[in-house]
Chains A and B, each alone.
Chain A
C-alpha cells in the first residue's frame, strides 16, 4: 500500500508537529546524556497516537501495511529532529530482518509486539571491525545435546543494544552466517554502553556466552537476509540523512539571511551565498535519491538495489557536507557546545560510517551495478 502525495504531506506534518513538541533541542540534549537514551513515555505516545512502529509492518502482523515511501517520510522527520528513540533499530533493522528472513513463525511471534510499540528490538551484526559484512563475523552458534541453539561471541556497534527487548544476532554455524533471535534478558547476555561520536544514537557492546537462541529463517541464510536488510536499511538511513541535511541547509540559510557583519547580511556576500547554493544542490540530489529509492523499493522494481546504493552514497555525502558548511556559515558560534550544529555534524559523520563507510558503500554500489 502506498499513500498518495497529500496523505504523505499529512503524515509529514503530523510527525513534524509531534517531534517539535516531544523532541525539541532541550529534550535531545537531556536524553543524549541519560540512560536509557530515550524517553519511554514519548516512545509510547509515538506508538499510541501516531502508530509509527507499525507503519511499515504488514497488517497480518498487526501493522498498518505501508511501505518504504511512508517510512521514509517518518525517518526524514526523525532525522531532522535528531529524535532519540529506538525507532531505527527496532522498526528498520530488526523488523526488516524478520521480514527478510521469510520466517512466518518468527514474524508472527515478534512483529505484533514491535508494531504495537510494546517490544523494542535491534540487530547485532558488526563486531570490533565495525563491518556489516556477514562473511567477516566470528560469533558462533552451536546446538547443544537437546538440539537447542546457543550463541557465543561479541558484538559491537549494536544500536540501542542495552535496552532492546529482542536482539537479532548474526552468528556463524557450519552452514555459514545465520540469523538468530535472543531475548534481551537471556542468561549469558551482557550489554554495555559504548561511548559514541553521536550521542543521540546509543550503541552497545554485547557479550554472548552460550546464550539460548532461536533460529530465524534457515540455517546458513544469514548472508542473503543481510543483503536484503542492508539495501532496505541504507534507504531508510538515507531518508534520515536527507532530513538532517535539509535541516542543516535551512539553519544555515536562516542565519545567512539575518546575521549582519560589515554592515550587511552575510548571505549577501557571494562566498556565503554560493556555499548555501552548493548545500541546496546536495540536499535536492539527496532527497531525490532517497525518495526515488524508496519508491522503487515499494514497487519491487529491479532498479531498486542500484538506487539503494545511490541513495546511501548521495545522502551520506550531502549530510556530511551540509553539516560542515552549516558550522562554517555560523562562524565561531557554530563550533560551540551550546549550538546544535555539532549534534548534526556528529550524526552526519556517524551515519556516513555506520554501514562501513565510503570505500565499502562504493564497492557495494558497483557490485549492484554489476561492475
Chain B
C-alpha cells in the first residue's frame, strides 16, 4: 500500500508539474509592498467572479481529462476508482501548486452532492449529471438549510406535494453557497408532515433554471455576499428527479453530510495565509511600535504555537496518507482549529493596532485586517457550528453518549 501511494504521489506530481507552477510563498512579506488584503470571503466584482468560476471550470476539465477529476468515482462515469486516501493525498499535494481555486465546484458539488447522486439517483440522472459535474460543466449546490433549520436539518419545512407525475415545491432555503453559479441543486423537502421529523423528508434534484426558482444574494456582516437565499415558488419537478424513497430523504441527506470533505493542507491558501505568518505578524508589531510589549509578545507566542502545531498536525496526517493509513481525528481537529486560529489572529492584531483598527489611517497593512476580523464569527458557524463539531468529536472519537431525546422533542414531532 505504501509503495502504491508513493507511485500515485509521483504520478500526481508529474501531472501538476506538466500543467501548473508551484504556489508562491504567501507567508513572506515585505512590509508596505503589494496587496494588503486580508479577506477571507471573496470580495470580487461580479464580472471578476464569473472569470474566476470560468478558470475553475477549466482547471477541473484538465483534471478530469488527466484522470484526477474524480479520484474516488467509478470509471463508468469518468472516475478513477481509487480510495478516499488517494483523493486526500492528491488534494494535499495540489495545495503546493498554484492552481485555480476550484472551491465553487468542488467543495459542495463534487465533494458532497456527486457522491449523493451516485448513491441515490435514478440511472438517467447519473448518466447525465455525473460526467457533466466532474468535467467542470455543471455546478451543484445544496438546498438544505432553511431560516428555521440550521444545524437541525431534520426540521426542514419546504413542502413538496405530489401532483400526478410531478412534485410541486414551495419554501425558502438559505446559506446556499454558489447557488448563483449552479445548474442543479439538491433539495430536502417535507413530504409527510405527520411522520416523525426524520422520516417525512424527500430529496429532489432541482435544475436551477426551473421556473419558480429564484436566487437572491445574501449580504453578510463583511459587506460581501458569498451566500444566497433560494426561494422555491410552485417549482414543478418530475418524479424521476427524486433521490431515494419518498419520505426516505434523511438517508440521502446523511450521504451528503458524510461526504463533507476534510481539508488537509489547505491552510496555506488565499490572502489569509499571511494572517497566520510569523513574519507578517512580527512585521506588524514593528510597524506599530508594539515590538517590546511583553503581554503582546506572550500572546504572539501562543498564537504561533497554535498555528505551527496545527501545521504539525496536518503534516503528520499527510504522512499517514502517504503510508496508506486513513488519518484519525486529527483532520477534524485541524478543521476546528483553522477557524479558531484565524479568529485568535484577528483579535490579536486588533489589540496590536489599537485605535488604528477603528478607522482607516491609510497606513498599509493595518485597517485591512478588519476584513478578516469581520469574517471570523462566520468561521465558527459555517459547515456545522463549532458546537456541532465538538459533539461529533466527543461522540465519535471519545465515545460519549448522545443527548437523550427529551419528552418535549418527542412531542414536537407529533
Residues of A within 8 A of B (CB): 5, 249, 253, 256-257, 264-265, 267-270, 272-274, 276-278, 280-281, 284-286, 288-289, 291-293, 306-307, 309-310, 313-314, 317, 358-359, 361-363, 365-366, 369, 371
Instruction: Please indicate the chain B residues that have their CB under 8 angstroms from the CB of A277 in the complex.
Output: 389-391, 393-394, 398
Knowing A257-B399, A268-B401, A291-B316, the reply to whether A358 touches B298 (Cβ < 8 A) is yes
Bound-complex Cα distance A293 to B311 (A) = 12
In this complex, how many residues of chain B approach chain A with their Cβ under 8 Å: the count is 39
A288 & B387 in contact (Cβ 8 Å cutoff): no
B400 & A257 in contact (Cβ 8 Å cutoff): yes
Instruction: Please indicate the chain B residues that have their CB under 8 angstroms from the CB of A257 in the complex.
Output: 399-401
Bound-complex Cα distance A276 to B301 (A) = 25
A280 & B298 in contact (Cβ 8 Å cutoff): no
A285 & B309 in contact (Cβ 8 Å cutoff): yes
| B406 nearest CB across to chain A (Å) | 10
Closest to B329 in A: A284
Q: Name 19 extra pairs, CB < 8 A, besides A268-B404, A281-B336.
A: A256-B400, A267-B398, A273-B390, A273-B394, A277-B393, A277-B394, A280-B329, A280-B333, A281-B337, A284-B333, A285-B333, A288-B330, A289-B305, A306-B308, A310-B309, A313-B305, A314-B306, A317-B302, A359-B294
Instruction: Please indicate the chain B residues that have their CB under 8 angstroms from the CB of A289 in the complex.
Output: 305, 308-309, 312
B398 & A292 in contact (Cβ 8 Å cutoff): no
| A261 nearest CB across to chain B (Å) | 13
Main secondary structure of the interface of A (DSSP, over half): helix
Instruction: Say if the beta carbon of B297 comes within 8 Å of chain A.
Output: yes
Closest to A250 in B: B398
Q: Which B380-412 residues have a C-beta within 8 angstroms of A? A: 387, 389-391, 393-395, 397-404
Contact with A along B77-94 (1 / 0, CB 8 A): 000000000000000000
| A40 nearest CB across to chain B (Å) | 38
Instruction: Please indicate the chain A residues that have their CB under 8 angstroms from the CB of B329 in the complex.
Output: 280, 284
| B362 nearest CB across to chain A (Å) | 27
Instruction: Please indicate the chain B residues that have their CB under 8 angstroms from the CB of A307 in the complex.
Output: 308, 312
Instruction: Say if the beta carbon of B313 comes within 8 Å of chain A.
Output: yes
| B184 nearest CB across to chain A (Å) | 35
A281 & B333 in contact (Cβ 8 Å cutoff): yes
Instruction: Please indicate the chain B residues that have their CB under 8 angstroms from the CB of A272 in the complex.
Output: 400
Instruction: Say if the beta carbon of B278 comes within 8 Å of chain A.
Output: yes
Instruction: Please indicate the chain B residues that have their CB under 8 angstroms from the CB of A253 in the complex.
Output: 398-400
Instruction: Say if the beta carbon of B345 comes within 8 Å of chain A.
Output: no
Instruction: Please indicate the chain B residues that have their CB under 8 angstroms from the CB of A313 in the complex.
Output: 301-302, 305
A281 & B393 in contact (Cβ 8 Å cutoff): yes
Instruction: Say if the beta carbon of B304 comes within 8 Å of chain A.
Output: yes
B393 & A285 in contact (Cβ 8 Å cutoff): no
Instruction: Say if the beta carbon of B7 comes within 8 Å of chain A.
Output: no
Closest to B402 in A: A268
Closest to A286 in B: B309
Bound-complex Cα distance A75 to B301 (A) = 25
Contact with A along B301-330 (1 / 0, CB 8 A): 110111011101101100000010000011
A314 & B305 in contact (Cβ 8 Å cutoff): yes
Bound-complex Cα distance A284 to B393 (A) = 12
Closest to A263 in B: B404
Q: Which of B301, B394, B398, B403 contacts A362 (CB 8 A)?
A: B301
| A305 nearest CB across to chain B (Å) | 12
| B211 nearest CB across to chain A (Å) | 44
Bound-complex Cα distance A365 to B302 (A) = 10
Closest to A284 in B: B333
| A-B CB contact pairs (8 Å), 26 listed | A249-B398, A256-B400, A257-B399, A265-B400, A268-B402, A268-B404, A272-B400, A273-B400, A274-B391, A274-B394, A276-B394, A277-B393, A277-B398, A280-B397, A281-B333, A281-B336, A284-B313, A284-B330, A288-B309, A289-B308, A306-B308, A310-B308, A359-B298, A361-B301, A366-B297, A366-B300
Most B-side CB within 10 Å, residue of A265, A268, A363: A268
Instruction: Say if the beta carbon of B282 comes within 8 Å of chain A.
Output: yes
Closest to B395 in A: A273
Instruction: Please indicate the chain B residues that have their CB under 8 angstroms from the CB of A288 in the complex.
Output: 309, 312-313, 316, 330
| B341 nearest CB across to chain A (Å) | 11
| B308 nearest CB across to chain A (Å) | 5
Closest to A272 in B: B400
Instruction: Please indicate the chain A residues that have their CB under 8 angstroms from the CB of B312 in the complex.
Output: 288-289, 291-293, 307, 310
| B35 nearest CB across to chain A (Å) | 24
Closest to B301 in A: A362
Instruction: Please indicate the chain A residues that have their CB under 8 angstroms from the CB of B397 in the complex.
Output: 280
Bound-complex Cα distance A178 to B304 (A) = 33
Closest to A273 in B: B394
| B61 nearest CB across to chain A (Å) | 37
